[in-house]
A and B are shown apart, each in its own frame.
Chain A
Amino acid sequence: MGDARRPEDGRSTARSEWETGTLEGALGKSAERPVAFTTVSDLPIERLYTSDDLGPGWNEREKLGYPGEFPYTRGIHPTMYRGRLWTMRQFAGFGSAEDTNARFHYLLEHGQTGLSTAFDLPTLMGRDSDDSLARGEVGREGVAIDTLADMEILFRGIPLDRVSTSMTINAPAAVIFCMYLAVAEKQGVPFAQLEGTLQNDILKEYIAQKEWIYPPRPSMRIITDLMAFCACSVPKWNTISISGYHIREAGSTAVQELAFTLADGIAYVEAGIKAGLKVDDFAPRLSYFFNSHNDFFEEIAKMRAARRIWAHVMRERFGAVNPRSLMLRFHTQTAGCSLTAQQPLNNVARVTVQALAAVLGGTQSLHTDSFDEALALPTETAVTVALRTQQVLAEESGVTNTIDPLAGSYFVEALTDKIEREALTYIARIDDMGGMIEAIERGFPQKEIADASYHYQRQVDAGEKTIVGVNKYAIGDERKTDTLKIGDEVEQAQLARLAGVKARRDEARLRRGLAALAAAAARGDNVIPFMLECVRDYGTVQELSQALVPVFGTYREVSVL
């Protein structure tokens, strides 16, 4: 870097000479390809990056630090994947609890190291299988859970002290978590030994995924109750997985995903502090969940920027001192929305690129999508290829040999800085509105995402963004791909089981428990112990959820087009 600098702009003289000499000569002979050089999120990318692009104040110590040290840009662990590989965690759930239990056993036998549960839509919305709105949706997109009886089957033969379980559930997260606790009780496993993650990120539901029960503010109250309960009784449990994944799937840009997700994280920390918790008591149990899309470097830069922003926010804004509060740990899933129904095997290549970005971005765990997921829930063959993709990256590609191998790349560092700056601008706008809950009530993130999603679709339709096999290199008649079918018998069987449980349980005892739960909510007591009691008595997800509606109300979205 001993280059001479031009006094007018501080840029290196050698670079200017290259631009006016070698480059201009080459461009004079043949122009660059007539395409926009932009990321999938439409960030412009320069022809070349040099030390000039890092700016005069760029300081390695301050921007990167060392692995396991503030600001954690290079990773949260001092040894990263040389110490321990990321957790390969494939999301699974379909049909009945028996079906999903069998898939869990299959995945564990094939080398998967953690479980991840997908629930069906009625469960995600806090509805029982026998509710009229659940018609046609029971067990379709995930496993149907109505009562503890289903949960007992779901984890049959799986010792809860020896696996870590991730549960993707939000609006009724506390109820499902109580069911997991009750299964642990029956297995004789102390709560303190339980490891896993509850998604429990209600804010991104209002922003993107749209599965809610109560309005934002009472929903936040249940979350802070859960954080308090876990800090005391289930200390190894990750209480919220603050999720950008769904924000991105809803059509946001990479910067929006990062900014809105971190703003959600800030809102949870503020809520915890407001509820009287000490930041270092609950912040170490917050984790993140990001999407990994097709644009390789944009994703890596996003993940590196995420760690740096969070470390600063936690230290400077919230005064956290425990290093674990400052470290942004995250799960990644490859981008479902990037998968194509056309020529589905091409998705194996997309998933590989996205998974590699997540690994180079320093993820703690990873789900790789199956190539047939734009058509239906994945078949066993497709799930196996997805898991093998991770194993090839981990054990054949060599990318795990050294920590944060892209650090110091002029391009990656400049892009990391740019994404950080743009995300901070969004976060400042949200702060100006009074925080994320106010921003959601105004429809701000919803509108930003809808605009970005529409803009991208127009670019695809115009051929400005390429989707291989869809708007370029398409073929007419394609061979059919075998897909997984979920029959109606799942719904019928689930309805029969639910009716059986309802007939056998102690109804009077449950009614007393539900009344006590509502009373606790109205008094402002922590609702979790009351929920646990109702769950033990085989109360349903819907009964518990509805018991709180008189106190908390329900949410209706004002649609933003």
Chain B
Amino acid sequence: MAGAIEGHVGEERRLRLLVGKVGLDGHDRGAKIIARALRDAGFEVIYTGLHQTPEMVVATAIQEDVDAVSLSILSGAHNYLFPRVLQLLQEKGAGDIAVFGGGIIPDEDIASLKQSGVKELFTPGATTESVVAWVRANIRPRPLD
């Protein structure tokens, strides 16, 4: 262990990211592309698969010690699902896990979702590079217990 800790001095461990699909929405093309792009960029990626509840996503995020949760929502249920995941993370004492995401989300909803704590939202036309660059610039490894 000591050696491992020493090895960390001055450098950060690899980011662990959860890519999730919540609700009944089966549009997983975007989520899979993002998961692959993040993995190819060198991050550790956990993809939840489809039809997760907010509770399931939050449980996985905590169990897997991820640094951020990203949700892809194309069903129009974003105004319910994002706040619900944020709320559950808070309740479980994991409010420091960043939440970001993407999908078909109107501008006015983006503003209110960001106010409620979503760090960033990517909409159709965003490149995988822009998502990777944003993650590099904005997500930091959480301190491990």
Interface residues of A (CB under 8 A from B): 121-122, 124-125, 127, 132-137, 140-141, 205, 209-211, 249-251, 337, 340-342, 374-376, 450, 453-454, 457-458, 460-461, 467, 470-471, 480, 483, 486, 557, 559, 561
Contacts and interface: CB of A to CB of B under 8 A. Distances in A.
13 contacts: A124-B24, A125-B24, A136-B75, A136-B79, A137-B23, A210-B50, A211-B26, A453-B29, A457-B37, A460-B127, A461-B127, A461-B129, A559-B50
A251 B76 CA distance: 21
A461 B25 CA distance: 25
A561 to B, nearest CB: 6
B80 A342 contact: no
A337 B104 CA distance: 12
Contacts of A249: 29
A463 to B, nearest CB: 10
Given A137-B77, A376-B106, A559-B50, A454 B23 contact: no
A470 B37 CA distance: 19
A233 B50 CA distance: 37
Interface string B33-51: 1011101000000010111
B24 A121 contact: yes
B77 A136 contact: yes
A375 B24 CA distance: 20
Interface residues of B, number: 33
Nearest to A456: B33
Q: Tell me what chain A mostly uses at the interface: helix, strand, loop, or mixed.
A: loop
Given A121-B23, A454-B33, A137 B75 contact: yes
Given A137-B77, A210-B50, A486-B76, A461 B128 contact: yes
A205 B26 CA distance: 9
Nearest to A453: B29
Given A137-B76, A140-B75, A450-B32, A557 B24 contact: no
Contacts of B49: 557, 559
Interface string B13-32: 00000000001111111001
Interface string B75-105: 1110111000000000000000000000010
Given A136-B80, A249-B29, A557-B49, A341 B125 contact: yes
A209 B75 CA distance: 13
